[in-house]
Structure 1
Amino acid sequence: MQKFDRNEVLAAIAMMAFGGIWLYIGLDYAWGNAVRIGAGVFPVALSLILIALCVLLIAKARSARPLVFSLHVRSLVLILGGILLWALSVDVIGFLPATAVLLAMCGLADPASTWRSIIGMTVFLCAFGYLVFIEALNVPMAIIGG
Structure 2
Amino acid sequence: MVIKSPQDFGAGILFILFGAIGLYVGSDLTFGSARNMGPGYFPMIICGLIVLIGLIVTAKSLSLEGPPIERIQFRPILFILLAIAAFGLLIAEVGAVISSILLILFAAYARRNVNLIETVVFAVGTAAFVVIIFVYALGQPMPVWWGR
Length-normalised TM-score, structure 2: 0.70
Contact 1:78 1:109 in 2 (8 A): yes
Gaps of 5+ in 2: 4-8
Counterpart residue number, 2:31: 28
Counterpart residue number, 1:117: 118
TM-fit CA distance, 1:107: 1.1
Counterpart residue number, 2:86: 85
The change in CA–CA distance for 1:140 and 1:72 in structure 2 (over 3 A counts) is same
> What is the number of residues matched between the two proteins?
135
Moved more, 85-94 or 49-58: 49-58
Counterpart residue number, 1:96: 97
| Residue type at the aligned position of 1:62 | S
TM-fit CA distance, 1:95: 1.1
Cα RMSD after superposing both structures: 3.5
- CA–CA separation in structure 2 for the residues paired with 1:31 and 1:84: 40
Tell me the secondary structure at the aligned position of residue 89 of structure 1: helix
Counterpart residue number, 2:20: 18
- CA–CA separation in structure 1 for the residues paired with 2:43 and 2:23: 14
| Residue type at the aligned position of 2:119 | I
Contact 1:4 1:63 in 2 (8 A): no
Counterpart residue number, 2:76: 75
TM-fit CA distance, 1:102: 0.7
Q: Deviations over 1:97-139 (max 9, x none)?
A: 1111111111111214311221121111111111111011100
Task: Tell me whether 1:106 sits opposite 2:104 in the alignment.
Answer: no
- CA–CA separation in structure 2 for the residues paired with 1:106 and 1:30: 43
Moved more, 54-63 or 72-81: 54-63
| Residue type at the aligned position of 1:4 | V
Q: Deviations over 1:53-107 (max 9, x none)?
A: 3311221133455532232211110001110111111111111111111111111
Counterpart residue number, 1:35: none
| Residue type at the aligned position of 2:102 | V
Gaps of 5+ in 1: 33-37
Q: Which runs of 4+ in 1 moved over 4 A?
A: 19-22, 24-27, 29-32
